[in-house]
Amino acid sequence: MKDASRDIFADRSEDGAKVRRILSKKLDQTERNSFAYLWEYIARTEQLPPPGDWQAWMIMAGRGFGKSRAGAEWVRMVADANPDARIALVSSSLAEARAVMVEGESGLLAICRPGHKPVFEPSLHRIRFANGAQAQLFSAAEPETLRGPQHSHACRAGPDRIIC
């Protein structure tokens, strides 16, 4: 994402409002509705993955920062970009992973626009994306379950931090 295009939406001046009005008139209703799902334009800079080639990204913040949303959006971005992605979603328990990371108000099912939502298979603890990417839920209380499955990416959520 380019900073210039992000600046158009962040610009609160009259010029910024004019550009947004012109853009809005050029988009059809479906395109306008989709803007609510464009994380790159609505996120704060600190909620976006860092640039460059990194191995781990940790957000350590308090309640209300948007850690769950940032983690879910990162998982969505990985899945969208890589149909072969196999993502491990790890939380303190399977119930918490499901309640927060998948079905929560900032979970994977909530952040994907209608018609593009992944399929959640609760009995298999798996989320399947339309392009073939998959995310598997794991409990940190049962670390041995992470042995065996091969993962290309992982996201670990806790009460005050998220590590991707």
| Same domain? 17 vs 73 | no
| Same domain? 68 vs 144 | yes
What pLDDT is recorded for position 2? 44
Q: What is the 3-state secondary structure (H, E, C) of the chain?
A: CCHHHHHHHHCCCHHHHHHHHHHHHHCCHHHHHHHHHCHHHHCCHHHCCCCCCCCCCEEECCCCCCHHHHHHHHHHHHHHHCCCCEEEEEECCHHHHHHHHHCCCCCHHHHCCCCCCCEEEHHHCEEECCCCCEEEEEECCCHHHHCCCCCCEEEEECCCEEEC
| Same domain? 76 vs 107 | yes
For residue 108, tell me if it sits in a domain. yes
**pLDDT 10s per residue in the chain (164 long)?**
445 555 556 666 777 778 777 877 888 887 777 777 788 878 888 999 988 888 889 899 998 999 999 999 999 999 999 999 999 999 999 999 999 999 999 999 999 988 889 999 999 999 999 999 999 999 988 888 887 778 888 878 877 778 87
For residue 69, tell me if it sits in a domain. yes
Domain count, the chain: 2
| Same domain? 33 vs 96 | no
For residue 152, tell me if it sits in a domain. yes
What pLDDT is recorded for position 54? 86
For residue 155, tell me if it sits in a domain. yes
For residue 138, tell me if it sits in a domain. yes
Domain span holding position 28: 3-42
For residue 47, tell me if it sits in a domain. no
What pLDDT is recorded for position 9? 60
| Same domain? 70 vs 148 | yes
What pLDDT is recorded for position 105? 93
